[in-house]
Amino acid sequence: GQNIDQPTEMTATEGAIVQINCTYQTSGFNGLFWYQQHAGEAPTFLSYNVLDGLEEKGRFSSFLSRSKGYSYLLLKELQMKDSASYLCAVTDSNYQLIWGAGTKLIIKP
Amino acid sequence: GAVVSQHPSRVICKSGTSVKIECRSLDFQATTMFWYRQFPKQSLMLMATSNEGSKATYEQGVEKDKFLINHASLTLSTLTVTSAHPEDSSFYICSASASLQGSEKLFFGSGTQLSVL
């Protein structure tokens, strides 16, 4: 079956760095997305990785290792507004999007 | 970037009524749109894939007669929840795929919170 695993919840301190991991087992791979979702709102696009390596975009970076079926989202200089759920999603060989359950990130002052 | 507009953002209705949710791609043409629902503290669940000019493809377990999808143009898809019941109360989100910088990305509408009394 197809599966995406990410931690249910993480806690970090304002100003610190946090890494949210995502592992996947899917039938084929055509890219991995990270989305941010605040409570009661739709997800917003953060990053897209299709090749191995690190993609940096401001305070957020995303890493992919296709051979390991692994990705992480790195958030630097955490701000209170970063408190949200972070969703990992993978596009399989049929271009179907498989969603993880999301990681709830709690930022403490 | 690509913008997807979804209306209404919130709707409260009586049991047995039908509710229509609109999803529009404002600055691009979307041949394919997706409809999701999300229950509290759960992941997004794909309900159906909507293709312009053809019938929608529903995921297993989703009642096509209850969740009517119409994708009449390249910029508009609608989801109608027919004879809504309290168990249909959920957060419904649409998305459309757009090709940006050589790769396909999904852009989401703002979502519709449906509450059925």
C-alpha A17/C-alpha B15 separation (Å) is 47
Give, for B102, the enclosing helix (H) or strand (E). Answer: none
User: What is the model's pLDDT at position B104?
Assistant: 67
User: What is the model's pLDDT at position B39?
Assistant: 81
The B-side interface with A (CB below 8 A) comprises 6, 34, 42-46, 91, 93, 103-111, 113
Q: Which segment of A26-30, B41-45, B62-66, B94-98 scores lowest on mean pLDDT?
A: B41-45
User: What is the model's pLDDT at position B24?
Assistant: 94
Which amino acid does the sequence have at A17?
Answer: I
User: What is the model's pLDDT at position B72?
Assistant: 81
The whole-number average pLDDT for the span B65-69 is 95
Q: Per residue of chain A (109 residues), give pLDDT as tens.
A: 788 999 999 999 999 999 999 999 998 998 899 999 888 788 888 998 999 999 998 999 999 999 999 999 999 999 999 999 999 999 888 777 788 989 999 999 9
3-state secondary structure at position A21: strand
- Chain B residues within 8 A of A101 when measuring between CB atoms: 42-43
Residue B15 backbone dihedrals phi, psi, to 5 degrees: -60, 135
Q: Which has the closest alpha carbon to B79: B106, B117, B49?
A: B49
**Residue B41: pLDDT over 80:** no
- Chain A residues within 8 A of B100 when measuring between CB atoms: none
User: What is the model's pLDDT at position A82?
Assistant: 97
B10-13 and B112-116 beta bridge pairing: parallel
Within 8 A by CB and 6+ apart from B61, the residues are none
| Contact flag A43-B46 (C-beta cutoff 8 Å) | no
Q: Bigger pLDDT: B69 or B2?
A: B69
User: What is the model's pLDDT at position B103?
Assistant: 62
Any B CB within 8 A of A40 CB: yes
Any B CB within 8 A of A100 CB: yes
The whole-number average pLDDT for the span B92-98 is 88
| Contact flag A42-B93 (C-beta cutoff 8 Å) | yes
User: What is the model's pLDDT at position B7?
Assistant: 94
The whole-number average pLDDT for the span B87-110 is 81
User: What is the model's pLDDT at position B29?
Assistant: 85
**Residue B53: pLDDT over 90:** no
The whole-number average pLDDT for the span B54-68 is 92
A97-99 and B19-25 beta bridge pairing: unpaired
How many CB atoms neighbour CB B93 within 10 A? 25
